[in-house]
Amino acid sequence: MTAKNDGERVMSTILQLPKYSIGVGDRFAHQSKAQLLACQRSLEAGVLITPVWNKSNREHLIIGSEPSQTRAAADAAVKALSWTGPYFVDADHINLKTADRFLAPCDFFTMDVAEDIGRLAAADTIDAFVGRHRELIGQFSIPGINQPFNIDESFVRRAAGTFLAAVQQAGRIYRDLAAKRGDGTFIPEISMDETDLPQTPPELLVILAAIADEKIPIQTIAPKFTGRFNKGVDYVGDLRQFAKEFREDVATIAFAIERYGLPRNLKLSIHSGSDKYSIYPAIREGIREFDAGIHLKTAGTTWLEEVIGLAESGGEGLALAKEIYAEAYTHAAELCAPYATVIDIDRPNLPMPTTVDAWTSEQFVRALRHDGNRDPQFNPNLRQLLHVGFKVAAKMGRRFTGALEANEVIISRNVTINLFERHIRPIFLA
């Protein structure tokens, strides 16, 4: 395979992520079947959505689980439902230090280099980058973006100063993984989402040029978008600005694939993508316009459906859901700390545990279930707190997982409906 401008295509990838895929987090490894059922339903409706079971190192540490358990749950679900399509297990947000225990069970690696953004690369490597990429300087157009870009050398130098060290770090992680696992045996993703500022299209182009230089056969990239992507609740930000940024990022990726010989299936990955109902129309339109793929990561939304299912079950299930809330409320500061940049909890609007204690099943479910902000009883503060509160359930151990098993029918119905109706349908089937 040869690329138009840059000689050889970075690499002919062997393992390929299909066009549409969804990251399904399964914190307690009990809902893989219910999640896969959502993909099976979309296949029946004519669209292949490839499931990717993603679980970050942070989640494994908080829960005390092993990546091999995620693999076992995924394999078991695939077998139980006779799923013949592709599926993957994602080592989500790993780096050089944390990758090892993911090597055998995972075939998708999200290399998190957000920490290295802004760390200045060695001056000679910045000079070399600017010297090698004169095509980035001057006026140029990206097909699909109306305004031409007018970029001067100082912009490229500045962008390289911000992002080159991060991409070089991704190169180190990729080569380490490839040496231990073998080229083409896994899907590489680079994530830059957990950082403060969104990346503009010219910056994304600089990043993709640097990724091609590092010869990383990247298949998905997670940039930072404008606005807040808070856990488990809707997007907060300027919808028109997001739509503009999203379609420009899609256009930029298509352009970079041609220009730098990056893998043809390279696509955007949206992190904290669950529950962002208000931007799904813009995502749907953007990928349709450019005939592009998308990877949507959802993680904690499934764990919240577990709590909803417990509450809906009434009796002991409801009592356990209330206990989890009360514990989360008591330890809110500690639970929220690792997620500070991705939650916005208005403390005075969290109900007191004594109030919640008196709730019926319906009251609890309505406060927690996120169905497009339609229900006036919905409480996004309670939902975000429970989203980051899975540590409480992890500490309960068998008491919690036993309750999941005892109430499997109700819980799995909630898990499947949530993924299929609220996430897959509006983006891929509408």
Tokens of 185: 């045996």
Nearer to Zn ion, 271 or 387 (CB): 271
Q: By the 8 A CB rule, do 42 and 423 touch? A: no
Give Cα 226 to chain centroid, integer Å. Answer: 16
Nearer to Zn ion, 126 or 343 (CB): 343
Nearest approach, Cβ of 191 to Zn ion (angstroms)? 5
Nearest approach, Cβ of 351 to Zn ion (angstroms)? 29
Nearer to Zn ion, 59 or 214 (CB): 59
For position 271 contacting Zn ion by CB under 5 A, the verdict is yes
- Bridge partners of 95? none
Nearest approach, Cβ of 297 to Zn ion (angstroms)? 6
Q: Element (H or E) spanning 15, and its range? A: none
Count of residues in contact with Zn ion, rule CB under 5 A: 2
Tokens of 231: 């856990």
Q: By the 8 A CB rule, do 59 and 339 touch? A: no
Letters for 214-253 (x = contact with Zn ion by CB under 5 A, - = none) are: ----------------------------------------
CA distance 149 to 275: 34
CA distance 414 to 369: 10
Nearer to Zn ion, 65 or 401 (CB): 65
Nearer to Zn ion, 27 or 271 (CB): 271
- Bridge partners of 408? none
Tokens of 28: 């307690």
Nearer to Zn ion, 23 or 217 (CB): 23
Using CB atoms, what's the residue nearest to Zn ion? 271
- Bridge partners of 267? 220
Which phi and psi angles does 37 have, rounded to 5°? -60, -35
Nearest approach, Cβ of 298 to Zn ion (angstroms)? 11
Nearest approach, Cβ of 424 to Zn ion (angstroms)? 19
**Burial, 234: exposed, middle or buried (Cβ in 10 Å; 0-12, 13-18, 19+)?**
middle
Nearest approach, Cβ of 113 to Zn ion (angstroms)? 12
Determine the 3-state secondary structure of 82 from DSSP: coil
CA distance 130 to 153: 7
Nearest approach, Cβ of 364 to Zn ion (angstroms)? 29
Q: By the 8 A CB rule, do 389 and 333 touch? A: no
Nearer to Zn ion, 388 or 404 (CB): 388
Nearest approach, Cβ of 70 to Zn ion (angstroms)? 16
Nearer to Zn ion, 77 or 192 (CB): 192
Helix axes 300-313, 361-368, angle to 10 degrees: 170
Options 141-149, 271-279, 299-307, 418-426: segment touching Zn ion (CB under 5 A): 271-279
* Residue 200: CA count within 13 A, CB half-sphere: 10
Letters for 176-205 (x = contact with Zn ion by CB under 5 A, - = none) are: -----------------x------------
Residues that bind Zn ion (CB under 5 A): 193, 271
